[in-house]
């Protein structure tokens, strides 16, 4: 069965090359924290939509402060990520050979207005995520649930029969096929409960009915989002969220360079702030010059991937030898320098990223630190394109992505290929690139998996169902053999079996060379001196907002 899924951080990661992994500065995270104070989170985002149906938020970031789901992520410094119960009593009871999953809600759960949370509220929240007017959120569940492929949401189609609520505390999911990662899927934003009588699809994202430790007190898009305590949140039912600060303010539309300089100075409100946007090369250089700021930097281990996708359905790039030539022609060292040096990234050779269980290291195209130009020229000559190949490279028009594109251009042109960089607005670029007939030859992309399974590395980027139609298969790659491996790995409920199949798919894809793995990024985030429990674990490459506290 072919599935059409949507990548999570997909667009955000690909657009900004915001990638990931392990620990850095700040004190160790605890499950209890000192309460009080106002935490300010600085973000370059120009708006924050809080509608869970439209959100691509990670479980540990913004929406996780306001909305709970059936499960969530237990993210601790120095430990592997775990999926744990949130609203549910466990991570799911599986039956019917992996195709039926049952959850029971905990006792005493309430919305911020004091009304009880029921299984019907969870069902309705999921159903509304299918509505075309609420598109843009994570869509893994949409084609996994029986009938989901054709369902258009509750506003027009009523109930989705594959989600059953036999009583107020029980919810049952019926899937098209076995799916071992379902406990991770129900941790995604769409699985937050929504009371039907409070739902207005046009405005719900401004002030959703909270189930987490915070609720919205003010939301001025483009300027600031303010959260205050939800007094109907019960800590005894929520072992993951510490709810330290009394108030959390998201300051939007912040310039990364200006915010970095403010945090380096560490004066006034900067002491109780952190920057939610990862630092680029220029910002890292500034921090490294200031010993105090450097101590407040949290940097991940190597994790998510940046890559060069080759349009396998276009011109000379249909030829495997041409694609292999580009694998060798790229200058890895120059690209790493453009990303900010060894503090920002290490070289990548596989598609499954570090920190993901079951990853196997290999390198099918060993080319040294600088690339292997002679090998590239040999392959181009064998393909009949020794000196006549002209390719267009799409890259976002911000300085960071343009510097990286130029590093790629210079490396590839050493092999005799003429590369023209086309700078594009990031939103326009990915809208066009994920459409049905884009005219790029090469495109610079990046990927942060939506959950810590190789499923999140492989399926969204290389399943043939993800070509066009909004899918993130930017290489426009199609292989029946790989599709079969993906289906087998997805259906496996035994983790060891699934991991083995994903590793096979990884290497099989690279034999066809649809992309050049470039780097595994190391993201760095800066906090003020009064911010505590500010860290990055092995996955994902973002601070855990749910556990941040302030010095008192």
- 386 and 507 together in one domain: yes
- 124 and 243 together in one domain: yes
pLDDT for res 34: 53
**Between these two residues, 225 and 342, which has the higher pLDDT value?**
225
- 377 and 485 together in one domain: yes
pLDDT for res 1: 32
The C-alpha angle with vertex 210 and arms to 194 and 32, in degrees rounded to 5, equals 130
Can you list the positions of beta strands (E) in 117-213? 163-167, 170-174
Q: How many CB atoms lie within 10 A of CB 468?
A: 15
By three-state DSSP, how is residue 512 classified?
Answer: coil
- 198 and 327 together in one domain: no
DSSP state of 524: E
- 204 and 322 together in one domain: no
Number of domains in the chain: 2
Asked, for residue 298, whether it belongs to a domain, the answer is no
The C-alpha angle with vertex 268 and arms to 247 and 218, in degrees rounded to 5, equals 30
Q: Is the pLDDT of residue 135 over 50?
A: yes
332-342 pLDDT, tens per residue? Answer: 999 999 988 88
**Between these two residues, 444 and 32, which has the higher pLDDT value?**
444
- 216 and 314 together in one domain: no
Asked, for residue 349, whether it belongs to a domain, the answer is yes
Radius of gyration in angstroms for the set of CA atoms belonging to the chain, rounded to a whole number: 23
pLDDT for res 210: 98
Find which of 16-20, 319-323, 395-399, 536-540 is predicted with most confidence, using mean pLDDT: 319-323
> What residues contact 415, with CB distance under 8 A and at least 6 apart?
325, 326, 328, 329, 373, 376, 377, 380
Which residue intervals of 368-469 are DSSP H helices?
Answer: 373-382, 399-413, 426-433, 454-462
Mean pLDDT, the chain, as a whole number? 91
CB 15 within 8 A of CB 430: yes
What is the rounded (10 degree) CA torsion for 526, 527, 532, 533? -30
pLDDT for res 8: 35
pLDDT for res 95: 93
Which of 356, 369, 436, 426 has its CA nearest to residue 398? 426
Asked, for residue 218, whether it belongs to a domain, the answer is yes
The two three-digit tokens of residue 467, written as one number = 């070509």
| HSE toward the beta carbon, residue 498, CA cutoff 13 A | 20
- 104 and 235 together in one domain: yes
Look up the CATH number of the domain holding residue 391.
Answer: 3.10.105.10
Q: What are the distances in angstroms from CA 549 to CA 31, 243, 274, 462, 490?
A: 11, 8, 11, 40, 38
Q: Is the pLDDT of residue 23 over 50?
A: no
**Between these two residues, 410 and 431, which has the higher pLDDT value?**
410
260-279 pLDDT, tens per residue? Answer: 999 999 999 999 999 999 89
Asked, for residue 21, whether it belongs to a domain, the answer is no
Asked, for residue 292, whether it belongs to a domain, the answer is no
Helix axes 373-382, 320-329, angle to 10 degrees: 170
- 361 and 449 together in one domain: yes
Asked, for residue 126, whether it belongs to a domain, the answer is yes
Residues 148-154, mean pLDDT to the nearest whole number: 95
pLDDT for res 249: 98
The two three-digit tokens of residue 360, written as one number = 């196997």
Quote the domain boundaries for residue 410. Answer: 305-521
Residues 202-208, mean pLDDT to the nearest whole number: 96
- 328 and 212 together in one domain: no
CB 489 within 8 A of CB 501: yes
Read out DSSP for 67-117?
---SEEEE--TTS--EEEESSBSSS-EEEGGGTEEEEEBPTT-B-TTSPBP
Euclidean distance between CA atoms 450 and 9, whole angstroms: 6
CB 460 within 8 A of CB 7: yes
Q: Is the pLDDT of residue 11 over 60?
A: no
- 338 and 196 together in one domain: no
31-51 pLDDT, tens per residue? Answer: 444 579 999 999 998 889 999
Which range among 17-21, 97-101, 375-379 shows the weakest confidence by mean pLDDT?
17-21
Asked, for residue 289, whether it belongs to a domain, the answer is no
- 345 and 208 together in one domain: no
Residues 347-354, mean pLDDT to the nearest whole number: 95
pTM assigned to the model: 0.82
**Whole-number percent of the chain with pLDDT over 70:** 94
pLDDT for res 32: 46
Q: Which of 221, 249, 277 is the last residue of a domain?
A: 249
Q: Is the pLDDT of residue 129 over 50?
A: yes
pLDDT for res 68: 98
Which of 431, 427, 438, 436 has its CA nearest to residue 392? 438
Q: Is the pLDDT of residue 55 over 70?
A: yes
**Between these two residues, 28 and 46, which has the higher pLDDT value?**
46
Q: Which of 249, 270, 293 is the last residue of a domain?
A: 249
Q: Is the pLDDT of residue 366 over 80?
A: yes
Look up the CATH number of the domain holding residue 205.
Answer: 3.40.190.10
Phi, psi dihedrals of residue 446, rounded to the nearest 5°: -150, 160
Asked, for residue 8, whether it belongs to a domain, the answer is no
- 499 and 395 together in one domain: yes
Euclidean distance between CA atoms 363 and 381, whole angstroms: 23
């Amino acid at each position: 069965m072919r599935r059409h899924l949507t990548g999570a951080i997909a667009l955000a990661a690909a657009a900004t090359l915001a990638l990931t992994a392990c620990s850095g500065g700040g004190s160790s995270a605890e499950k209890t924290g000192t309460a009080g104070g106002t935490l300010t989170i600085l973000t370059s985002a120009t708006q924050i939509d809080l509608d869970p149906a439209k959100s691509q938020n990670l479980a540990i970031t913004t929406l996780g402060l306001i909305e709970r789901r059936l499960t969530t992520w237990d993210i601790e410094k120095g430990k592997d990520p775990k999926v744990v119960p949130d609203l549910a009593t466990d991570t799911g009871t599986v039956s019917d050979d992996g195709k039926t999953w049952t959850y029971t809600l905990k006792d005493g759960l309430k919305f911020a207005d004091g009304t009880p949370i029921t299984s019907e509220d969870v069902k309705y929240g999921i159903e509304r995520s299918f509505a075309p007017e609420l598109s843009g959120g994570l869509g893994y569940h949409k084609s996994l649930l029986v009938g989901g492929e054709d369902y258009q949401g509750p506003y027009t189609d009523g109930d989705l029969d594959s989600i059953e609520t036999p009583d107020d505390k029980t919810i049952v999911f019926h899937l098209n096929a076995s799916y071992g990662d379902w406990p991770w899927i129900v941790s995604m934003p769409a699985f937050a409960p929504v009371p039907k009588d409070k739902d207005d699809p046009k405005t719900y994202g401004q002030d959703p009915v909270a189930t987490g430790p915070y609720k919205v007190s003010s939301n001025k898009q483009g300027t600031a989002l303010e959260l205050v305590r939800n007094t109907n949140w019960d800590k005894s039912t929520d072992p993951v969220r510490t709810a330290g600060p009394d108030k959390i303010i998201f300051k939007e539309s912040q310039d990364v360079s200006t915010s970095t300089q403010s945090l380096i100075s560490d004066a006034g409100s900067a002491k109780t702030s952190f920057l939610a946007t990862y630092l680029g090369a220029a910002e890292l250089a500034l921090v490294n010059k200031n010993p105090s700021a450097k101590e407040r930097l949290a940097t991940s281990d190597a994790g998510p991937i940046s890559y060069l996708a080759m349009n396998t359905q276009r011109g000379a790039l249909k030829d495997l030898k041409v694609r292999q030539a580009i694998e060798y022609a790229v200058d890895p060292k120059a690209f790493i320098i453009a990303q900010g040096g060894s503090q920002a990234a290490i070289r990548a050779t596989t598609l499954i990223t570090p920190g993901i269980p079951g990853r196997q290291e290999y390198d099918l195209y060993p080319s040294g630190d600088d690339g292997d130009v002679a090998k590239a020229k040999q392959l181009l000559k064998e393909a009949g394109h020794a000196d006549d190949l002209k390719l267009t490279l799409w890259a976002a028009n911000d300085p960071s992505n343009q510097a990286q594109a130029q590093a790629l251009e210079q490396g590839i042109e050493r092999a005799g290929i003429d590369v023209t960089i086309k700078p594009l607005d990031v939103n326009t670029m990915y809208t066009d690139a994920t459409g049905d007939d884009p005219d790029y030859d090469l495109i610079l992309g990046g990927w942060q998996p939506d959950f810590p399974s190789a499923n999140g590395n492989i399926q969204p980027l290389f399943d043939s169902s993800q070509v066009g139609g909004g899918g993130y298969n930017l290489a426009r790659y199609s292989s029946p053999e790989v599709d079969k491996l993906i289906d087998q790995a997805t259906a496996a409920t035994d983790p060891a079996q699934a991991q083995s199949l994903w590793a096979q798919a990884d290497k099989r894809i690279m034999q066809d060379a649809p992309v050049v793995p470039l780097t595994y990024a190391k993201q760095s985030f800066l906090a003020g001196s009064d911010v505590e429990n500010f860290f990055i674990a092995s996955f994902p490459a973002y601070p855990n907002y749910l556990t941040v506290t302030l010095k008192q």
